[in-house]
Amino acid sequence: MDAEHHSMHIPQQKKDEIKDIKAKIGQYSVVGLVGIHGMPSKQFQQMRSSIRDSVLIKVSKNSLITRALNECSEDIKSLENYLDHETGLVFSNDNSFKLFRLLESSKTPAPIKGGMKAPNDITVEKRPTDFPPGPIIGELQSAGIPAAIEGGKVVIRETKVVAKKGEVVSQNLAAMLTRLEIFPLELGLVLRGTFEDGMLFDASTLAIDEGKISLDFTTAASQAFNLAVNSAYPTRTTIQALLAKAASESRNLAVNAVIYEPGVMDILLSKAQGHVMVLAGLVSDEALDDDLKAKMGAQAAVSPVVVEPEEEETAEKEEEAAEEETEETAAEGLGALFG
């Protein structure tokens, strides 16, 4: 009865606002709350215009947002925990992760004002400037920026952190940073949380490193491929490397065990010839026939060839080539490995 009595005193304009918020919650698959504190109106309107094809932004009072959320499903009510200071509603049919990336990419650098706290460590790098010698040197130095004159130009003598995260930036330092075109702030909508498919997503959950995730997948695929090859686990992806490895190992076994097979006879004969030539080099020329003497003379005219290491190196190269070819499709075959 009290709630009904209280609702009767809500102005019609506010009732319409609450009704509009509820309607949009039902129209879009993703609803989020963003911080808009300190964002100039001009930049806000530009950003709203730049993403209007994917995101609808609505600014309303926190009390009206709270009431609208409380009149919706039980699950979405917890979104009101992200209400703080100036807040805006965002509605989208993209998933929460795409929404987060879109809002992050739409942020623009902005100069810091005196009296504001540094959002992160503010660093001035060692470099030349376009300033001619003059009073600017004293202004830079008074702001804590090491400046000097070199070659008729004002230069920053060394890299220095002029304000640490959380420190209040002075008016003088803020002015010098702007003149140096150092913009420590990022203007944009700060996504705090979203509601999608009955689930609540915090901004920290949405801020994923895509490069790291991609690298993790590539590493996992490579490790899975190596595991399958080393454990002789046949799949569509590993079978070529396994066959190449088996062929190489069987050939080496046949050569080292002196097994007379057609596939290794040329290698065995080459090894035998090499051994004969080595032995011939150890005995007197009188013990050699004319044919062997001629071969020894021909060998002396060229660099000696060691057959066995060459064969092992060839086998290794064949195996490496097979692995390189199959690793290109390792990620594609990851599902095949684990069925």
Block mean pLDDT (10 aa), the chain, length 339? 52 88 92 85 82 89 90 86 88 92 86 90 92 90 91 90 93 93 87 91 85 88 92 91 89 84 82 76 68 64 49 52 49 41
Angle at 82 between CA 19 and CA 16, to 5 degrees: 10
CA dihedral angle for residue 193, residue 195, residue 196, residue 201, rounded to 10 degrees: 40
Q: What's the pLDDT at 316? A: 54
Nearest to 244 by CA among 317, 336, 308: 317
**Residue range(s) occupied by CATH 3.30.70.1730 in the chain:** 2-107+188-207
pLDDT at 307: 45
Cβ(33)–Cβ(192) below 8 Å: yes
Please give the Cα distance from 94 to 75 (Å, whole number).
20
Question: How many other C-beta atoms lie within 10 A of the C-beta of residue 17?
Answer: 19
Enter the tokens of residue 215.
């690298």
CA-based nearest residue to 48, from 106, 98, 104, 2: 106
Report pLDDT digits (tens) over 227-250. 999 999 999 988 999 999 888 888
pTM of the model: 0.55
**The predicted structure's pLDDT at residue 309:** 47
Architecture of domain 2-107+188-207: 2-Layer Sandwich (3.30)
Q: Which CATH superfamily is domain 122-184 in?
A: Ribosomal protein L10, N-terminal fragment, domain II (3.90.105.20)
| 195/95 Cα distance (integer angstroms) | 10
Amino acid at 90: V
Write out the two tokens for 2.
């009290």
- In the chain, CATH 3.90.105.20 sits at 122-184
Any residues with CB less than 8 A from the CB of 282 and at least 6 apart, and which?
none
Q: Given the DSSP bridges, would you call strands 30-35 and 87-92 parallel, antiparallel or unpaired?
A: antiparallel
Identify whether the C-beta of residue 234 lies closer than 8 Å to the C-beta of residue 227. no
CA distance 308 to 312: 6
Question: Rounded to an integer, what distance in angstroms lies between the CA atom of residue 166 and that of residue 169?
Answer: 9
Taking a C-beta distance cutoff of 8 angstroms, is the pair 156, 126 a contact?
yes
pLDDT at position 330? 44
